[in-house]
A and B are shown apart, each in its own frame.
Chain A
Amino acid sequence: MNTAAPPLPRSHAARAVGEQPDRSRWWTVAAVASIAASGCVWWISIRSVDPAAMGDTGFLGVLPVTFYAAVAVLTASFCIHVRRPSHAAVLFLHLVMLIIALHGLASVIEPVPRLSATWRHVGIVHYLEGHALSPPLDAYFSWPGFFSLFASIEPIMGRSATVELARWFPIVIDVAYLAPLLTIFSTFTNDRRLVWLASWLFVLGNWVGQDYFSPQAISLLLYLIVIAVLLRSFRRVHNPTTPDPWIDRLTSAIHADEPIVTLPRDPVRIRIVSITAAFVASAAIVASHQLTPFMLLVGVGLLVVAQRITVRAMAILVAVMCAGWLLFMALPYLRGHLAALLTNVGDLGRNVDTGLVQRVGGSVGHVFVAEVRIAVTASFWLLALVGMVKRTIRGSADIACWLLGIAPFAMIPLQPYGGEILLRAALFSLPFVSFLAAGCLLPVAETPRIRTGGVRTALAWPRQILVAIVCFLLAIGLVIGKYGNEVSERFDRAEVDAVSAMYHLGGPNEVLISLTPSVPWKFEHYDWTYETMTEDSTFGAMTTSQPSPASAARFLTSIVQQHGATVGWVVVTRGEMEYARLLGLAPAGWMEALVDAFDRAPAFERIYDNGEASIYRIEAAA
């Protein structure tokens, strides 16, 4: 039963604004000035950054001290204003500036979109503009919602506008996440400081980098929207005439109840528009991404089982939609992959191994980046654990938050998801982990006694300094974690030009070959034949000896002949070489020796070279 936390008589904001209106205005001016100052310093700092000077730790080594000063000013300003009754717009501006400063770094510094997958997704959009949705070429076409949407609106945005959109997409999507996040957090607490700090921590903790132009980025947004709508409009309200849910009886044993959140109950018409939005968003998730529907199913299912929401039918509806899509729309994919999918079910050790242990390897810089990522995630979880215990001891058991935080990890025993299941589970749990971590950093304010009293107010400043330091360290962690592999994930215009040249030279009956996956290709002619040398099953054996012109020709000729073609085009770019070196795919100097062998082999002819990338033509008959 909810008795521990009486609703606050007046909001913190209303009380303080009423008492000091003039002073508040000056604080707002100061906030805007500090955001503008940090923005200017940030802009000046990154304009001088040379991506070509980047090392194995990504942006960390090339960003000037003034960049970190700008982030420090912004962090300090936020921490000062979040403890004050600042206007929501001021705090929102801080968040937007933080997103631009950290998640927009690559968009501003680099001339073209980063990540090979971004270019691939642009290519699928371009392909769908001129082709029907079926027959499917690969798994993307069994969940084509995201691509179908952008294939429909790209002609309105303008030809090839998707490439430019993809460059700025991380900023757009990270700002869009804020609306559902603020809604979700405000259903957990009345304390607005906690709501804003949790949002701040989410931005700092999102190093996973799934915010590029991708179905998973949009699906995560829709997932958060569904959860926000269900928690906001369909929360279970305590009814004294009915028995408490089992989970409440459990938590009441430790004298903790879910905090009473003083949100007004929505009228029927708002509930209608809310459930409609939740339904269409859920259907769009099911049609857009393989993994997110199951994350949603587990999350909503747990909320229903624990009686946190009143729309029990939602879980059934999501389950029916998932099953229906798999059985009818994704059947071609299932037919080809069912055995492989079932092989990994229950193999927890292997799934964790591919997602964690195998990622710590490669060059010294790459290992350092992987360790920082693990440390940042572990820090978040530690803070969240302490926050959870602290809030529970103080009488606030955030049951819905706990459940949604652990729900994504239910997927780990089921699938390795290409070695990414741990990353994806961490990403989906991040909003809720951020809230609990914010609860660790701030005092529990559900009880009014915490919010008044001279001694506690006097102690607030050291705490705010501590919060600012933690946030600043996490910001540095984000720069390392998100951009640590940037040397192989960024592209130059010259690399894109080389791939465009390859499209002019090659044809649909020829094979396009890259050395490693880090190439900005497939943005046109998605249905042509592509091969990546390091993904060939015999590549490992080939690296045991130094490459010769004959062995290089033999290896690549066999790849071309596997597809019944007689001509192949090999693209060699700076990013590919960096990728191989960073991940340690071959012994040191081996890839350079291979390219040297291309130049000496009679079967190869260098057709194109722009300094950053080369294209070789290979005759399979030779």
Chain B
Amino acid sequence: MTDLTRARRYLWPAALAGSTAAVLVVVALDVPTSTFRSALVLWFFAVCPGMAWARAMGVRDAAMRWTIAIGGSLGVEILLSLAFGYAGVRSPTLLFAVVACATIGGICLELVTALEDRSADVQR
């Protein structure tokens, strides 16, 4: 594996972690409503958690990875928002916290897998 390929492997985890951090900052600083803020939040909720797990589980085909990313993200969030709603504890912050944790979990799993692959390469 070349250095460039290795570096590319970390691009997506960095983008996903960056998106999570950016949404956190936007919410924490209460950035005024704008197209940028809406697009960022929509991107985070529609893609990030599913993409983190699809990559962590090694889905290589690009179309399939996006399919699982969008389906997994929206599916889980709809079910979570319903569960919180029916339980009477609906809170945007709570939903964001759970989804952010899921995203970070997926990123960590992918990084662990990448590091294991790298050490296996070195041993070879």
Residues of A within 8 A of B (CB): 88, 128, 132-134, 144-146, 148-149, 151-161, 164-165, 172, 176, 179-180, 182-183, 186, 218, 221-222, 225-226, 228-229, 232-233, 267, 269-270, 272-274, 276-284, 287-288
Contacts and interface: CB of A to CB of B under 8 A. Distances in A.
Given A128-B85, A229-B68, A161 B92 contact: no
Contacts of A218: 74
Contact of B23 (A156, A160, A182, A183): A156
A156 B96 contact: yes
A157 B33 contact: yes
Contact of B92 (A152, A267, A277): A152
A287 B74 CA distance: 12
B57 A228 contact: no
Interface string B5-33: 00000000000000000010011000111
B78 interface: yes
A164 B38 contact: yes
B101 interface: no
Interface hub of A152, A153, A218 (most chain B Cβ within 10 A): A152
A160 B27 CA distance: 15
B41 A270 contact: no
A461 B82 CA distance: 54
A183 B64 contact: yes
B74 A148 contact: no
Contacts of B120: none
A157 B81 contact: no
Nearest to B75: A280
Nearest to A145: B78
Given A88-B62, A232-B64, A270-B59, 7 more contacts: A152-B91, A176-B46, A176-B70, A229-B64, A273-B68, A277-B50, A287-B78
Given A133-B85, A133-B86, A180 B41 contact: no
A157 B32 CA distance: 9
Nearest to A269: B57
A284 B37 contact: no
Contacts of A274: 59, 64, 68
A281 B50 CA distance: 12
A288 B78 contact: yes
B68 A284 contact: no
Interface string B53-84: 11001110111101111111011111101101
A30 B38 CA distance: 34
Contact of A172 (B42, B54, B68, B72): B42
B119 interface: no
Contacts of B42: 153, 157, 165, 172
> Top 6 nearest A-B pairs by Cβ distance?
A158-B33, A280-B75, A225-B71, A179-B66, A284-B78, A273-B57
Interface of B: 23, 26-27, 31-35, 37-38, 41-42, 45-46, 50, 53-54, 57-59, 61-64, 66-72, 74-79, 81-82, 84-86, 88, 90-92, 95-96
A152 B50 CA distance: 18
Contacts of B95: 152-153
Interface hub of A133, A164, A165 (most chain B Cβ within 10 A): A133
22 contacts: A144-B85, A148-B78, A152-B85, A152-B92, A153-B45, A158-B37, A164-B35, A179-B63, A179-B67, A180-B70, A182-B63, A183-B61, A183-B63, A186-B63, A218-B74, A221-B70, A222-B74, A229-B64, A232-B67, A273-B53, A281-B72, A283-B75
A268 to B, nearest CB: 10
A213 B101 CA distance: 28
A228 B71 CA distance: 10
Contacts of A278: 71
Contact of A145 (B33, B38, B82): B82
A281 B81 contact: no
B41 A284 contact: no
A578 to B, nearest CB: 30
Contacts of B66: 179
Contact of B74 (A134, A161, A284): A284
A218 B73 CA distance: 12
A277 B71 contact: yes
A172 B68 CA distance: 17
B45 to A, nearest CB: 5
A280 B71 contact: yes
Interface hub of A156, A186, A221, A272 (most chain B Cβ within 10 A): A156
Nearest to A132: B88
A498 B49 CA distance: 41
Contacts of B81: 145, 148-149, 151-152
A269 B46 contact: no
A186 B72 CA distance: 20
Contact of B90 (A151, A156, A186, A284): A151
B31 to A, nearest CB: 8
B68 A277 contact: yes
A261 to B, nearest CB: 12
A541 to B, nearest CB: 44
A261 B64 CA distance: 15
Given A222-B75, A276-B72, A153 B92 contact: yes
Nearest to A274: B68
A155 B38 CA distance: 10
B10 to A, nearest CB: 21
A146 B77 CA distance: 10
Contacts of A180: 63, 67, 70-71
A132 B85 contact: yes
A159 B75 CA distance: 24
Contact of A281 (B75, B88, B91): B75
Interface hub of B63, B69, B90 (most chain A Cβ within 10 A): B63
Nearest to B76: A280
Given A132-B85, A148-B78, A176-B46, A160 B33 contact: yes
